[in-house]
Amino acid sequence: MSEPPPAYKEIPGEDLVAELAKMKAMMEQMRLDKERMETEAKRKAEDTASKARAEQEEMREFSEIYTRLHEKNEGSWLSRISHGHKTLLASLSQHEVVLFGSNGGSHHTYFITNKNVFRVYPCPPTGPVLCAVYTFHSALTKKQIIMLEKGVATDQYGTRMTSLIDRMSDYQKDSELKRMNASKKFESVIRLIPGSYQNGDWRQLDGFFGMYFNETTMEFSEVPPPL
């Protein structure tokens, strides 16, 4: 025989009010959570769209800078470097873009790409050798490229139209002291951008233009060892 249903028991007025208040609070919290989630989703969507627009703008500005530098280089040092130097540049990674360079003549030539700073040495009879003296931790930004353009590649130098990167290799017009001063300034500007020397076990003992030492083979080199 089944048990009789429980006797009806009226909820006291105070308890009913408290229960309704609790339910109302829960519904309000659910509403606030929904609004928060919708606001967060909207914010993320706006951030994504803003980031995409910023990246597109950055790529556009990069393209303009690269085009301008390429056109400038075609009419200056790039058109005058030797066939061997051009061959070295052609051997660079497709993701590496040459931004600045020095004429160098038959002596030392310097190239700055979006990833590395290179020094080229004549090496008869095989031809010029490409030597990295500094590798940037990440590809150069627009701001860093503009800084380098102003710091090492501007043409005006006093009353002379010679850039800092050219003065380091100008063996005809500049004295050894002036070339050393230009080299020191050049390295100081480059090191404003995070990076390091990367070439196996070789390390720099005194910057770009000092001795190089291989800790494994105990060898020394007065010039940057080839890659």
**With 90 as the cut, is the pLDDT of residue 202 above it?**
yes
**With 80 as the cut, is the pLDDT of residue 93 above it?**
no
Across the chain, mean pLDDT equals 80
What integer pLDDT is reported at residue 164 of this predicted model? 80
Look at residue 157 and give its three-state secondary structure. strand
With b meaning 16 or more CB within 10 Å and e meaning fewer, what string describes 76-114?
Answer: ebbeebbeebeebbeebeeebbbbbbbbbeeebbbbbbb
Comparing C-alpha atoms, which of 113, 109, 94 is closest to residue 165? Answer: 109
**With 50 as the cut, is the pLDDT of residue 84 above it?**
yes
Query: pLDDT tens across 112-145, in order?
Result: 988 999 988 776 666 778 889 999 999 898 889 9
Q: What is the mean pLDDT of residues 6-16?
A: 61
**With 80 as the cut, is the pLDDT of residue 79 above it?**
no
What integer pLDDT is reported at residue 106 of this predicted model? 47
Residue 155 near residue 161 (C-beta atoms within 8 A): yes
In percent, the amount of the chain with pLDDT more than 90 equals 23
Please give the helix or strand (H or E) that residue 167 lies within, else none.
helix 164-167
Indicate the length of the chain as a whole number: 227
**With 80 as the cut, is the pLDDT of residue 83 above it?**
no
**With 60 as the cut, is the pLDDT of residue 159 above it?**
no
| Contacting residues for 165 by C-beta, under 8 A, at least 6 apart | 100, 101, 102, 110, 112, 152, 153, 186
DSSP state for residue 101 in the 8-state scheme = E
Q: What is the mean pLDDT of residues 48-69?
A: 82
